[in-house]
Amino acid sequence: MSPRRTPSGGRIDRLRTIRFTFDGTAYAGHQGDTLASALLSNGVSLFGRSFKYHRPRGVLTAGIDEPNALVTVLRGDVREPNIPATMVEIYEGLVAVSQNRFPSLAYDVSAINQLGGKFISAGFYYKTFMGPVIGPLKGTRFWMLCEKIIRRAAGLGRAGNVPDPSRYERMNAFCDVLVVGSGPAGLSAAREAATSGARVILAELDPTFGGSANWSGETIDGEPAIAWASDIVGELRDHDNVRLLKRTTVWGYYDGNTLAAIERVGDHKATPAKGAPRHRHWTIRAKNVVLASGAFERPLVFAGNDRPGVMMASAAMRYANQYGVLPGDKIVVFANNDSAYSAAATLNKAGATIVAIADLRQDVSEDCRTLARECGAELLTGHAVIATEGAKKLAGVKLAAFSIAAGVLPGNARKIEADCLIVSGGWSPTIHLASQAGARPVWDDDLQAFLPPESGNGWYGAGGFNGTFSTADAILEGFAAGRKAAGQPEVEIGTAPDIEPAALDPRPAPVFEIKANGKAFVDYQHDVTADDVRLAHLEGFVSVEHLKRYTTLGMATDQGKGSNVPGLAIMAEAVGKPIPEVGTTRFRPPYAPVSVGSLAAERFGDLKPDRLTPMHDWHLENGATMYSAGLWHRPMIYGEPGETVEQAYVREAQTTRQAAGIVDVSTLGKIAVQGPDAAEFLDRVYTNLFSTLPVGKARYGLMLREDGLVFDDGTTWRLGDNDFLMTTTTANAGKVMQHLEYFLDVVWPELRVHLTSVTDQWAGAAIGGPRAREILAACVTGTKVDNEALPFMGIVHGEIAGAPVLICRLSFSGEMAFEVYSGSGHGTHVWEALIEAGEPFGMVPYGLEALSTMRIEKGHVTGAEIDGRTSARDLHLGWMLSKKKPFIGSAMMDREGLVASGRLELVGLISLDNRPLNGGAHIVAEIDTDNPHGSLGHITAACFSPALGKYIALALVSGGKARHGKRAHVSDPLRNRFGPVEIVSHHFFDPEGKRMHG
Amino acid sequence: MVEQLSPLEPVFRAGSHGNFVDGIGVTLSEIAPGSIVQLAAWPGQEKKLMATINSVTALKLADGAGAGASSDRYAAFGFAPAKFLVTDTSEGLAATFAKEVPSAIGTVTDLSHGRTALRITGAKAEWVLAKLFAIDFSSAAFPLGSGISTTHHDIFTQIQRSGPASFDLYVFRSFARSFWKMLCHAADEVGYEVR
């Protein structure tokens, strides 16, 4: 038997022993233990060191509100810091370590910070390190030095830096009623909603349903509360319309009754099930929500209230009843309300000695006096704990007489030996989710707590959340809330269940702090003391929101679960206003820490989907080096052994110009534009006419944005009177689709035109070069491909190797070229047939580098030049601007700025030092390497031109054509490339288009 | 006629995968209909178009957003106002509709190569799909035959409930392999069989 484990009781499985380590020491616990309960059962009292002062800390609570016992859980090299030991379920082989200490938890050198006192009070880093400026020692430099030391000394756990191999998932859920919390109120609500036929989700953050029923020790209608809860959970399991989510924390309440939750699927297992995630993020869309999230017991603020051995009364009761663990042998109780008396009775029944009960109130009910007597405890009414004693564990407490009106009364303090002090400072309903949903909390003088308003838009409260602390009333409220949430008519609520023992009065005396010498902590997690709150007030932080940020009270993972109300109360006293006038901060999501992995979920390692052309596998099998073009994967080169990228693309381009080449153009955006008004629509969106385009022909088109700048270009094929196939650039396909849909939906809804993305319907292969027509002739059946049947921009239907194809004669390479479209499912089949047909003619496949090279040689524009700043005239495409019709952008294309002289215009460049040029390099009149300046423009695309045997580029240069034949320089200081260039026409190769037109 | 090549081929691994210790949660397959056709009506012409669909396929499309129906051969559902996706196990459906749908009623677009059709069947089908889509897949909200347009991870998807525990998913062909891998990944937990 471990030192603090009770001989019987609790909901742990005593037959199953689980071994784990904490800070390298081996311990044993039982199935059902948390790390906190297991360590307590082993007599461990020191769990961690505090954030700033490195004070020894024990375990304060038994749940998600734990501010002290934060640990790091290790799984191999993966470390997860700042996990409350109260929320870690032990499993065989669990490895946990304490945090923020060196060299060990017991002997921490930074504990010297405790001597720092007021030197490191709230906001010390804002003012302590601002100067002085003496000689070279700047104030900021001094701060930078100190910052490193402070950052090393303060903080909590250390994050790991190895990849987390765990799996995370996201899940979407819809329900009529989401019940948050499965205590008596939540279970009652879920049962009522489920019985009415509503789809119900019940979310419980603990591993077992039942909430306080698991540890209250009550009976409900004669049945142990645990059994009562278990029966209801059994009923709920039998309902097809109920989903039960345990280990699930609902942490965010967003608009439209959308709630976020995290399910800890695998944290309690040594090895996760195959395919199962560690965490599952739930997005729950609920028609209505029942908030039955209970309440947190509040600490009292007194000197030494953070010493290991000080624990919330309800937590001590839970350890005894749920885990069979006593937090101490000799226990003192300190309270301002009745609820601690139940805890005292429970602990005494479990075997602890209750030495004394110090109650801040003078008047204590007879029920409480009876409990105190039964415990054998000395009842000290009108008394307060003014200090605690001990080093790393509690050795005793100091008590003094206390008056609510006057505080600690003068007189001799009394020492009592004890190894545990349990505290109750009243209860704060867990209204975080309601607050996130916009509810404005209402101060309740009786409970000395903020309560939610009666109900919100889409949510209903029940139980402790409402400030209802009797189990009987909580069950009735749950019943009512469940009915309302399920849309059921209100009914008269029946008899309240019979609860034993009878509920005590939870209303506390309005006392939050006992002023005495010594550090009295308000926010344990951030080492914020009562003096820090007063200091903030003295320094002018009168807004509660500013107070929070200045002192860090209630920030980070803790979110003020225990500290919010005591902090406000101390602030209110300092300001001289009642608490409700000081107000409260608004709780923000997340209510509790959420793993980033669960938010990323399946997007981890896969930030975007791959988009593959039908011939993708062929490219890989035939040596293509691929690269990403947006989501698409496209061949860059088909390199041969030993070839550089430049050698490969030069060979591919050269071979294409000498014989033939084939390139995968399936990625071009393709939009079916269909309907009786399709031609009219295209006339409006393109700068040139399409209504005059005959069926069976294609035309190059240019689109402007509404502001008159160039938007996109491409060819559009007329396949029928009302049927056009528009192609767009690969990069702009989505944008063009949106642009067109916008105009159809919003501007011209009267046009009968339908748009459909058919990019994926068609596989495209562009085959070009002097032998291209012969190659086609060798494999196409069902149509001729000679100049008569297939003139420039002509379209024919035929077959290749039995697959239907659509062939259009058009060219991007400047060669005699054809685009062959087939159904995507036939793409590889047709491609392979073309490759086979091209073999005797020396045809090669080529990638984007060669494609780009040939387009630069031809001076064709792409997205590099259509960069959102260029006009049609800048690109020498002014001839495409129809004067016969209006079109998108026509009203703005002639505005002053777009026709001004000196605009950047498209030109060609030839490197005069025979060295490569780079995209992005500036063009200048004269080189000034020390002070680069005077940019005339920039290079948009560059390559080695096999046709010219030179390094060439396209550029946008002020003055454009007027500079043809003149020398300039590239100035590229980032890449240290300077050199002379000649500015020439952008049509480097075959400017008359003889090769293309055959 | 040349057979269509599946975009899934290198990643389509027939057999049982994932955690199937407790049985197979879902079966994943590519259904590869012969025809996938999009039909769209002009405003006011929706009923006529639906009548044409019913007449060609012998289905009975009900009114209402997303309403659909299926038979052994055909499946049809509305995926947007006045827009329908119709599939046929045989090829040539687009040509048939092109004859039956005059330009005064609407348009016909052949997507037989442009979309990849996948089927997920089994007790855990709704669970697996809920990982990917913010859609209520319960039979009350998503009845048999009905369809919906949605997206996952930037991939546009049209979904039809093809059985009490069966859904057909239509995705752009170029995304199909990526989507298939995600679907398999999502199904790992419940165990899946690829058929």
In-domain check, residue A175: yes
Q: Which domains does chain B have, with CATH numbers?
A: 9-32+114-194 (3.30.1360.120), 35-110 (3.30.70.1520)
Taking CA A637 as the corner, what is the angle to CA A635 and CA A639, rounded to the nearest 5 degrees? 130
pLDDT category, B154, cuts 50, 70, 90?
confident
Residues A2 and A120 in one domain: yes
- CB pair distance less than 8 Å for B182 and A199: no
Question: Residue A692 maps to which CATH number?
Answer: 3.30.70.1400
What pLDDT digit, counting tens, does each position of A297-310 carry? 999 999 999 999 99
Q: What is the average per-residue pLDDT within A751-759? A: 98
* Domain stop point among A162, A181, A204: A162
Tell me the nearest-neighbour CA distance from A731 into chain B, angstroms.
15
Residues A140 and A246 in one domain: no
Residues A774 and A919 in one domain: no
Is pLDDT at A139 greater than 70 in this prediction?
Answer: no
What pLDDT digit, counting tens, does each position of A476-509 carry? 999 999 999 999 998 887 889 999 999 899 999 9
Predicted pLDDT of residue A446 = 96
Q: Identify how many contiguous H helices and E strands chain A contains and give both numbers.
A: 24, 52
Chain B residues with CB under 8 Å of A676 CB are 103-104
In-domain check, residue A886: no
Interface contacts A/B by beta carbons within 8 Å: 141
Residues A637 and A766 in one domain: yes
pLDDT category, A605, cuts 50, 70, 90?
low
Chain B residues with CB under 8 Å of A606 CB are 153, 182
Strand order across the A844-845 sheet: A780-781, A795-800, A803-808, A817-823, A762-768, A661-664, A844-845
In-domain check, residue A870: no
Is pLDDT at A138 greater than 80 in this prediction?
Answer: no
Residues A185 and A306 in one domain: no
Residues A334 and A264 in one domain: no
Predicted pLDDT of residue A643 = 97
Q: Which residue of A170, A631, A760 is in closest CB contact with B114? A: A760
Q: Find, in chain B, the residue whose alpha carbon is nearest to that of A278.
A: B189
ipTM: 0.98
Lowest mean pLDDT among A63-67, A266-270, A587-591, A822-826: A587-591
Q: Are the C-beta atoms of residues A875 and A955 closer than 8 Å to each other?
A: no
Predicted pLDDT of residue B181 = 94
Question: Residue A214 maps to which CATH number?
Answer: 3.50.50.60
What pLDDT digit, counting tens, does each position of A397-426 carry? 999 999 999 999 888 899 999 999 999 999
- Please give the C-alpha separations between residue A406 and each of A14, A229, A448, A574, in angstroms, as whole numbers: 50, 45, 19, 16
Is pLDDT at B70 greater than 80 in this prediction?
Answer: yes
Ordered DSSP codes for A39-51:
HHHTT----EE-T
| Cα A27 from Cα A325, distance rounded (Å) | 15
Is pLDDT at A606 greater than 70 in this prediction?
Answer: no
Chain A residues with CB under 8 Å of B10 CB are 617
Counting the structural domains of chain A, the total is 7
Q: Which residue of A174, A674, A825 is in closest CB contact with B113? A: A825
Tell me the nearest-neighbour CA distance from A609 into chain B, angstroms.
6
pLDDT category, A125, cuts 50, 70, 90?
low
Chain B residues with CB under 8 Å of A734 CB are none
- CB pair distance less than 8 Å for B1 and A171: no
The residue type at B141: A
How many percent of chain A have pLDDT more than 70? 97
SS (H, E, C) A178-240: EEECCCHHHHHHHHHHHHCCCCEEEECCCCCCCHHHHCCCCEECCEEHHHHHHHHHHHHHCCC
Domain that holds residue A328: 299-425+504-510
Strand order across the A698-704 sheet: A698-704, A710-720, A723-728, A669-674, A754-757
Q: What is the average per-residue pLDDT within A341-363? A: 97
- Please give the C-alpha separations between residue A419 and each of A161, A309, A326, A333, A434, in angstroms, as whole numbers: 40, 6, 11, 11, 38
Is pLDDT at A601 greater than 60 in this prediction?
Answer: yes
> A384 — alpha (psi -120 to 50), left (phi > 0) or beta?
beta
Q: Find, in chain A, the residue whose alpha carbon is nearest to that of B136.
A: A174
| Cα A637 from Cα A75, distance rounded (Å) | 44
Q: What is the average per-residue pLDDT within A823-840? A: 98
Beta-strand pair A295-297/A279-291: unpaired
In-domain check, residue A895: no
In-domain check, residue A739: yes
Q: What is the average per-residue pLDDT within A537-558? A: 86
| Cα A198 from Cα A645, distance rounded (Å) | 64
| Cα A784 from Cα A794, distance rounded (Å) | 12
Residues A783 and A795 in one domain: yes
Burial class (CB in 10 A: 0-12, 13-18, 19+), B134: middle
Interface test with B, best of A756, A797, A806, A831 (most B CBs within 10 A): A756
Interface test with B, best of A610, A611, A668, A781 (most B CBs within 10 A): A611
pLDDT category, A147, cuts 50, 70, 90?
confident
In-domain check, residue A838: yes
Predicted pLDDT of residue A585 = 77
Q: What is the average per-residue pLDDT within B48-53? A: 97
Question: Residue A652 maps to which CATH number?
Answer: 3.30.1360.120
CB atoms within 10 A of CB A875: 23
Is pLDDT at A249 greater than 90 in this prediction?
Answer: yes
Chain B residues with CB under 8 Å of A678 CB are none
What pLDDT digit, counting tens, does each position of A109-121 carry? 888 877 766 667 7
| DSSP tag of A794 | B
pLDDT category, A584, cuts 50, 70, 90?
confident
Residues A140 and A49 in one domain: yes
Residues A288 and A436 in one domain: yes
pLDDT category, A3, cuts 50, 70, 90?
confident
Residues A306 and A264 in one domain: no
pTM greater than 0.80 (yes/no): yes
Taking CA A474 as the corner, what is the angle to CA A472 and CA A478, rounded to the nearest 5 degrees? 120
* Domain stop point among A723, A757, A791: A757
Predicted pLDDT of residue A583 = 79
- CB pair distance less than 8 Å for A174 and B141: yes
In-domain check, residue A597: no
Q: Is the dihedral of CA A652, A656, A660, A661 positive or negative?
A: positive
Tell me the nearest-neighbour CA distance from A607 into chain B, angstroms.
9
Q: Which residue of A632, A754, A760 is in closest CB contact with B173? A: A760
Is pLDDT at A134 greater than 90 in this prediction?
Answer: no
Predicted pLDDT of residue A604 = 63
Question: Residue A569 maps to which CATH number?
Answer: 1.10.10.1100
Residues A569 and A715 in one domain: no
What pLDDT digit, counting tens, does each position of B78-90 carry? 999 999 999 999 9
What's the whole-number average pLDDT of chain A? 94
Residues A631 and A645 in one domain: yes
Predicted pLDDT of residue A136 = 66
* Domain stop point among A479, A510, A541: A510
pLDDT category, A137, cuts 50, 70, 90?
low
- Please give the C-alpha separations between residue A497 and each of A194, A471, A476, A779, in angstroms, as whole numbers: 20, 9, 8, 87
In-domain check, residue A677: yes
Interface test with B, best of A598, A671, A761 (most B CBs within 10 A): A761
Q: Are the C-beta atoms of residues A342 and A317 closer than 8 Å to each other?
A: yes
Is pLDDT at A1 greater than 60 in this prediction?
Answer: no
Chain A residues with CB under 8 Å of B28 CB are none
Is pLDDT at A151 greater than 60 in this prediction?
Answer: yes
Chain B residues with CB under 8 Å of A609 CB are 153-155, 175, 178-179, 182
Predicted pLDDT of residue A154 = 72
pLDDT category, A102, cuts 50, 70, 90?
confident
Is pLDDT at A2 greater than 70 in this prediction?
Answer: no
Q: What is the average per-residue pLDDT within A910-914? A: 98
- CB pair distance less than 8 Å for B2 and A612: no
